[in-house]
Amino acid sequence: MEIYLKFTELGLSEDILSAVSKAGYETPTPIQEQTIMLALEGKDVIGQAQTGTGKTAAFGLPTLDKIDINGGLQALVIAPTRELAVQSQEELFRFGRDKGVKVRSVFGGASIDKQIKALKSGAHVVVGTPGRMVDLIKRRALQLGDIETLILDEADEMLNMGFIDDLEFIIKATPTATRQTLLFSATMPDAIKKIGVKFMKEPQHVKIVSKEMTSDLIDQYYVKTKEFEKFDVLTRLIDVQKPELAIIFGRTKRRVDEITRGLKLLGYRAEGIHGDLAQQKRLAVLRDFKNDNLDVLVATDVAARGLDISGVTHVYNYDITQDQESYVHRIGRTGRAGKSGLSITFVSNNEMGYLRAIERLTKKEMKGMKPPTREEAYQASLAVAFDEIKRDLTDEKISAKLNKFDEDADKLLAEYDAKLLVSLLLQAKVSDPDTRPKVDIAPEKPLPFNGEGGKGGGGGRGGNRGGGSRGRNDRRGGGGGFNRDKRSGGGRDRDDRNKKDYYKKDKQKVHPHATEKKPGFVIRNKGDK
């Protein structure tokens, strides 16, 4: 039987423990327990764990613990995206507030002058993206001579995004002899190992087997569908499954925009995030999603990477990913904290090879799912409307407000048939496939055929570039020069970047009749945040 320590048993100081207690945490996750104890001993640590395992607290608590609030900048956290940087900054501030630790964030896409001003006002910890940190170092606005703790968060992602030179530049600007280095990565490629050898002192390797990889709590399905049918199938699934909170992943920014626009047109509470959105807008969307003001979030992989979002019941992969690791991160949005979740991946016949590669990585077979018919979706929407109307009619507060319409209601009943009036009420509440507006989603070619899945048509080398005519500039979010972190507009963005096919052909044939399982859905406890 495993014995789990409490935070109070890890050797953290009282002011840090006070903040942890206020946050409602008692027992650390495995990555937190092991990392905190090693870090407090002053050891370098390489932590291997997936997103959602509590890495921020794992490196944050011991780092905050040894901060001298009478000193200057003592700790640096490097993150791959601005969302993750902001998120980490907020969490570190929360844990360090009782002690009085000043935590600043720096990233591209925001005013560098304002960030310089914030740094001048004082900072004990700085969290930021590599490109913006390099710019600040070159401007001498970020002085790293007294850094005691250096943290690289999601190092594999930063390497994938081409930040290796920036990382080495930043690391070399910090003290070598006295620096403690903590590196976190979901995977451990050779490039990460080289960083460990080159810049770390006898690092301790903490590896946490991710539950996301083999989680029995996540029911994984696939739906074979043609490109032009995807959106219709998606809305039918949403109507029937009634997700409490859902994320839809699209391959490109254009795709995200069009899906979001289509869902809004049909009355769904949906918003989208990707690299071209202004930072303020992206953060506002995430706040709405976390606060139950949205039912559906549509996102690209890079925009959703590393986001700490709880309560997601359904993940819809509108476009299958070519990157198996990205799939793991996608489905890792749901099935957290012991709760069940559902993942559904849309796939063309041509793309089945990618699905099989994902299955080998996750060690779990996806089951074929037959999408609901239009009639089934209509009946599901009708059932929801009935429930809503019955609930409102039995709610005394709502009923009391309806009294003022008594006279007008009598006038309508005197002039029109009661059944006709009720039908009009239902029409306003029901998603009727016969009357709802038509939504056109621009087609995108499937991923290049990789040797499995039957007769697939189309594909070609340009198939994963977000449309037949997109070129190199489109993969970088538009024209303009290269800017390491400013992914809004002209900067490089991984959302649409073409990726090389790394998957080897598997000779295993796809069974023509995949097992089907009737999907359920989870009602989220509103108190779970």
Average pLDDT score over residue span 292-313: 79
Same domain, 232 and 98: no
User: Is 50 exceeded by the pLDDT of residue 521?
Assistant: no
Looking at residue 312, what DSSP letter applies? B
Q: Which of 209, 225, 258 is the last residue of a domain?
A: 209
Same domain, 395 and 364: no
Neighbours of 448 (CB within 10 A): 19
Looking at residue 480, what DSSP letter applies? S
Q: Which of 209, 241, 267 is the last residue of a domain?
A: 209
Same domain, 296 and 389: no
* pLDDT band of 481, cuts 50, 70, 90: very low
CA distances from 450 to 424, 447, 463, 501 (A): 51, 8, 12, 8
User: Is 80 exceeded by the pLDDT of residue 333?
Assistant: no
Tokens of 161: 């995004």
Evaluate whether 448 touches 320 at the Cβ level (below 8 Å).
no
* pLDDT band of 338, cuts 50, 70, 90: low
Rounded Cα distance, 1 and 20, in Å: 26
Question: Does residue 1 fall inside a structural domain?
Answer: no
User: Is 60 exceeded by the pLDDT of residue 514?
Assistant: no
- Chain centroid to CA 270: 15
Rounded Cα distance, 160 and 80, in Å: 10
Tell me what pLDDT residue 83 has: 83
Average pLDDT score over residue span 41-70: 88
Strands (E), 253-313: 270-273, 296-299
Q: What is the 3-class SS of 26-86, one letter each residue?
A: CCCCHHHHHHHHHHHCCCCEEEECCCCCCHHHHHHHHHHHCCCCCCCCCEEEECCCHHHHH
User: Is 60 exceeded by the pLDDT of residue 468?
Assistant: no
Same domain, 386 and 366: no
Evaluate whether 463 touches 447 at the Cβ level (below 8 Å).
yes
Evaluate whether 510 touches 454 at the Cβ level (below 8 Å).
yes
Average pLDDT score over residue span 454-465: 34
Tell me what pLDDT residue 26 has: 77
Tell me what pLDDT residue 346 has: 96
Tell me what pLDDT residue 257 has: 93
Same domain, 71 and 190: yes
* pLDDT band of 478, cuts 50, 70, 90: very low
Same domain, 408 and 503: no
Evaluate whether 73 touches 124 at the Cβ level (below 8 Å).
yes
Question: Does residue 247 fall inside a structural domain?
Answer: yes
Evaluate whether 79 touches 85 at the Cβ level (below 8 Å).
yes
- Chain centroid to CA 332: 8
Average pLDDT score over residue span 453-458: 36
Neighbours of 191 (CB within 10 A): 14
Mean pLDDT of all residues belonging to the chain: 79
Evaluate whether 50 touches 210 at the Cβ level (below 8 Å).
yes
Average pLDDT score over residue span 417-425: 84
Strands (E), 250-375: 270-273, 296-299, 314-317, 341-347, 367-368
User: Is 90 exceeded by the pLDDT of residue 107?
Assistant: yes
Tell me what pLDDT residue 466 has: 35
Question: Does residue 429 fall inside a structural domain?
Answer: no
Same domain, 141 and 215: no
Q: The domain that contains 33 carries what CATH number?
A: 3.40.50.300
- In which residue are the tokens 């979002």 written? 309
Evaluate whether 195 touches 318 at the Cβ level (below 8 Å).
no
Same domain, 454 and 342: yes
Beta bridge pairs of residue 317: 249, 345
Average pLDDT score over residue span 422-449: 76
Q: Which of 209, 240, 264 is the last residue of a domain?
A: 209
Least confident of 43-52, 54-63, 177-186: 43-52
Alpha-carbon dihedral 186, 190, 195, 200, rounded to 10 degrees: 80
* pLDDT band of 225, cuts 50, 70, 90: very high
The 3-state DSSP composition of the chain as helix, strand, coil percent (nearest 5) reads: 45, 10, 45
> 107, 86, 104, 29: which is closest to 61 by C-alpha?
29
Question: Does residue 339 fall inside a structural domain?
Answer: yes
User: Is 80 exceeded by the pLDDT of residue 433?
Assistant: no
Rounded Cα distance, 304 and 251, in Å: 12
Least confident of 115-124, 131-140, 344-353, 409-418: 409-418
Which sign does the torsion angle of CA 111, 114, 116, 118 carry? negative
User: What percent of the chain clears pLDDT 70, i.e. is strictly above it?
Assistant: 77
| Range from 18-27, 60-69, 87-96, 421-430 that averages highest in pLDDT | 60-69
* pLDDT band of 305, cuts 50, 70, 90: low
- What residues contact 71, with CB distance under 8 A and at least 6 apart? 124, 146
Tokens of 521: 């859905």
pLDDT in tens, 262-292: 999 988 999 998 877 777 788 888 888 888 8
User: Is 80 exceeded by the pLDDT of residue 161?
Assistant: yes
- In which residue are the tokens 């992914």 written? 487
Evaluate whether 65 touches 224 at the Cβ level (below 8 Å).
no
Tell me what pLDDT residue 523 has: 32
Same domain, 217 and 307: yes
User: Is 70 exceeded by the pLDDT of residue 113?
Assistant: yes
Residue 184, φ and ψ in degrees, nearest 5: -125, 135
Same domain, 202 and 221: no
Tokens of 337: 């904290």
Tell me what pLDDT residue 317 has: 95
User: Is 80 exceeded by the pLDDT of residue 446?
Assistant: no
Same domain, 158 and 15: yes
Tell me what pLDDT residue 282 has: 80
Which sign does the torsion angle of CA 264, 269, 274, 279 carry? positive
Tell me what pLDDT residue 272 has: 92
Beta bridge pairs of residue 207: 48
Average pLDDT score over residue span 445-474: 42
Tokens of 302: 């890079």
Question: Does residue 61 fall inside a structural domain?
Answer: yes
Give the residue numbers spanning the domain of 394: 379-421
Tell me what pLDDT residue 524 has: 36
* pLDDT band of 510, cuts 50, 70, 90: very low
Same domain, 326 and 246: yes
Rounded Cα distance, 237 and 250, in Å: 16
Question: Does residue 106 fall inside a structural domain?
Answer: yes
**How many domains does the chain fold into?**
3
Question: Does residue 385 fall inside a structural domain?
Answer: yes
User: Is 50 exceeded by the pLDDT of residue 165?
Assistant: yes
Least confident of 389-403, 442-456, 490-504: 490-504
Least confident of 250-259, 324-333, 505-514: 505-514
Tell me what pLDDT residue 304 has: 66
pLDDT in tens, 4-19: 578 889 999 999 999 9
Tell me what pLDDT residue 457 has: 35
Question: Does residue 428 fall inside a structural domain?
Answer: no
Rounded Cα distance, 406 and 182, in Å: 68
Angle at Cα 280 formed by Cα 60 and Cα 314, nearest 5°? 70
